[in-house]
Amino acid sequence: MVFFRHLISPSKSVIPAHTNFAALKHLSVRIIIAFSVVSSLHEVAQSTLLCLRSSSITPRTCAHLIFRQYRLVVLAGFSNPSLLRLAAWLADAVQALKAERRAVKLWTKKTLGVMEGLQFSTCTESLIYRQ
């Protein structure tokens, strides 16, 4: 199991996030790939690591789209066929980079635990890592 914690939020925008997504959808964009800087208590997850999750644990597990005043949270499950194809393509790309002897790490078949905000304390994180 791999745990990541969001430490830095993106800067706020005066344009609601759902407006940006509506514009991209209008342009026929089907998939948005977002990368974020991650870390962990034991520094298991480094910034050069790619993780293709097979499942995730998050405080927003039941929510697919959450609209707030100027924020949008989108959780896409890997049951989506296009995301499965994307994950396979990314895995092949990483293997090609490894063949070129580049320092790339890829974790697959892991559970991604997303911990945000104050709902998870350092004490709780420590307990999770010990289990």
Alpha helices in 63-102 (DSSP H): 81-99
Domain range enclosing 28: 2-130
Interval 3-55: pLDDT, tens: 444 444 556 666 666 667 777 777 887 666 655 444 454 455 554 555 665 55
C-alpha closest to that of 115 among 6, 26, 22: 6
Structure tokens at 75: 């959780």
Q: How confident is the model at residue 72 (pLDDT cuts 50, 70, 90)?
A: very low
Interval 79-123: pLDDT, tens: 455 566 777 777 787 788 788 887 777 766 665 555 555 555 555
Name the domain count of the chain: 1
Q: How confident is the model at residue 68 (pLDDT cuts 50, 70, 90)?
A: very low
The pLDDT value recorded for residue 34 is 56
Nearby residues of 64 by Cβ (< 8 Å), 6 or more positions away: 74, 75, 76
Which of the listed ranges 35-44, 45-54, 56-65, 68-77 does the model predict with the highest average pLDDT?
A: 45-54
The pLDDT value recorded for residue 128 is 57
